[in-house]
Amino acid sequence: MSFTCTKLLLTHSQIWHSATIHPFLQQCHLGTIKSEQFNTWLVQDYFFVVEFTRMVGRVLASAPLHHFDVILGGLAALQDELSWFKQKAAQRQLNLDTKRQPKCQEYCEYMHSLGSKPYPVQATAFWAIELAYNQGWQLPGEMPVPYNEFANRWGNAGFTEYVKILEQQADEVLQVAAADIQQQAEEAFVKVAKFEQNFWQMAFNAG
């Protein structure tokens, strides 16, 4: 098999499983997640999305022109997502003027560091981050109110298709990348998976 995103998923299936199937998400599905746990996730994920938006801007700066449309579409969606997070926080009377927790801060710093990496590495990380949310909110199955709104945002068919296009764009540049860049992309994939697992655990520990 040539070097592709699918190969990364197969090679690192165990760590990817931990990144996308977590008690936090399972308890959202069961409706048993505690408010403190979910609220912790919501606030910290807002901080994450702020930095992720900056990361996607840097991905655009490195991308070939024919990848622009997809990335620009992602940026437009993130603008809406940040406003949506603010609305959800206001509904729950949560303070967004607070500190990032250490696991969130580490993830944000890592996303910032990707700006100095070759485009195939950035494209791989971009795809992996979006896929983690797509699968994480999709795999548990239908969720009850109010968690269904969150699950539908990242688990809907349109978002799934968007993630598939990100995978195609990453594959395009990975397959012609030098071996050392492919290795960096693989390392980025593993790091994203571990950061995702740690992020869910951070929120879960709040309970």
Give the model confidence (pLDDT) of 146-164 as tens digits: 999 999 999 999 999 999 9
Percent of the chain with pLDDT over 70: 99
Radius of gyration of the CA atoms of the chain, in A: 16
- The string of pLDDT tens digits covering residues 23-66 is 999 999 999 999 999 999 999 999 999 999 999 999 999 999 99
Q: Is 97 helix (H, G, I), strand (E, B) or coil?
A: coil
Q: To which CATH superfamily is domain 34-92+100-202 assigned?
A: Heme oxygenase-like (1.20.910.10)
Q: Is the pLDDT of residue 1 over 70?
A: no
DSSP 31: T
> What residues are annotated to the active site?
196
Query: What residue ranges do the domains of the chain occupy?
Result: 34-92+100-202
pLDDT of residue 113: 98
Kindly state the average pLDDT of the residues 174-185. Answer: 98
> Which whole number is the average pLDDT over 63-71?
98
Rounded CA gap, 55 and 36, in Å?
28
